[in-house]
């Protein structure tokens, strides 16, 4: 498992994090001259990324060809099922999705914050990467569950008379919550009773994470 980190401003990395990337041999930290080399390769459309499972890049790292390079990078991740993280000081709220590939956009300070070390330690231990851990920290499960509860309540109000399975999946970030709640017992459609049952399961999971005793 390998992670590519593309940083066009070495001073930003030094300012925002004290992480010693040499502790994480799976991270290929492209700063300074290494960044200049990879920028040249990207601008010349020489993509050598197959060895990487995760690509982390500053959102504006590629100069005048930035939009073109990012478009090709996203297409590459989609076709090869790679994880992509884009960071920038202009991003105010983190955004995570699994469609059409696993993608996270995050503020630069948050990327280089405490969660990065948690993310890298977890990746090193498990030989796998959890983008939700980077986005939300050690309480990522609780964050996703509570956000989903809010979305379900809004969904039930909005679609009081008609509920479609596909609409429910889109509105609740179904693939994300599916990491935490088993939906195998449900068929290709949801009744209101099904959704209320899902709410109960989420509440139970939240209580478990919070250490609430049901006895």
Instruction: Decide if 87 contacts 59 (C-beta within 8 A).
Output: yes
Q: How is the chain split among helix, strand and coil, in percent rounded to 5?
A: 55, 15, 35
pLDDT under 70: residue ranges of the chain = 159-179, 181-190, 212-215
Strands 83-88 and 103-107, by their bridges, are parallel
* pLDDT value at residue 165: 58
Concatenate the DSSP letters of all residues of 113-142 into one string: SHHHHHHHHHHHHHTS--HHHHHHGGGHHH
Q: Which helix (H) or strand (E) holds 6?
A: strand 3-6
Report the C-alpha gap between 73 and 8 in whole angstroms: 16
Instruction: Provide the β-strand partners of residue 107.
Output: 88
Q: Computed over its alpha carbons, how large is the radius of gyration of the chain?
A: 20
Count of CB atoms within 10 A of residue 66's CB? 15
By C-alpha distance, which of 81, 36, 83, 78 is closest to 56?
A: 83
Q: According to the model, what pLDDT value does residue 92 have?
A: 93
Residue 8: how many CA atoms within 13 Å on its side-chain side? 14
Condensed to tens digits (0 to 9), the pLDDT of residues 130-172 reads 998 998 898 888 887 887 788 778 777 776 655 665 666 655 5
- The secondary element (H helix, E strand) that includes residue 54 is strand 54-58
């Amino acid at each position: 498992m390998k992670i590519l980190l593309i940083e066009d401003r070495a001073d930003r990395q030094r300012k925002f994090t004290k992480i010693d990337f040499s502790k994480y041999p799976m991270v290929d930290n492209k700063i300074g001259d290494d960044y200049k080399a990879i920028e040249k390769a990207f601008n010349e459309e020489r993509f050598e990324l197959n060895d990487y499972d995760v690509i982390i890049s500053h959102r504006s790292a590629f100069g005048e060809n930035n939009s073109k390079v990012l478009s090709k990078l996203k297409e590459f991740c989609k076709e090869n099922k790679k994880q992509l993280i884009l960071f920038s000081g202009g991003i105010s709220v983190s955004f995570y999705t699994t469609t059409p590939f696993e993608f996270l956009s995050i503020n630069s300070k948050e990327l280089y914050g405490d969660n990065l070390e948690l993310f890298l330690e977890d990746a090193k231990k498990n030989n796998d990467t959890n983008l939700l851990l980077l986005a939300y920290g050690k309480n990522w499960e609780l964050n996703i569950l509570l956000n989903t509860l809010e979305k379900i309540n809004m969904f039930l109000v909005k679609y009081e008379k008609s509920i479609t399975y596909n609409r429910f999946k889109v509105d609740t970030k179904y693939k994300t919550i599916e990491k935490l709640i088993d939906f195998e017992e449900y068929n290709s459609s949801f009744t209101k009773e099904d959704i209320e049952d899902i709410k109960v399961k989420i509440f139970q999971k939240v209580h478990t994470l919070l250490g609430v005793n049901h006895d």
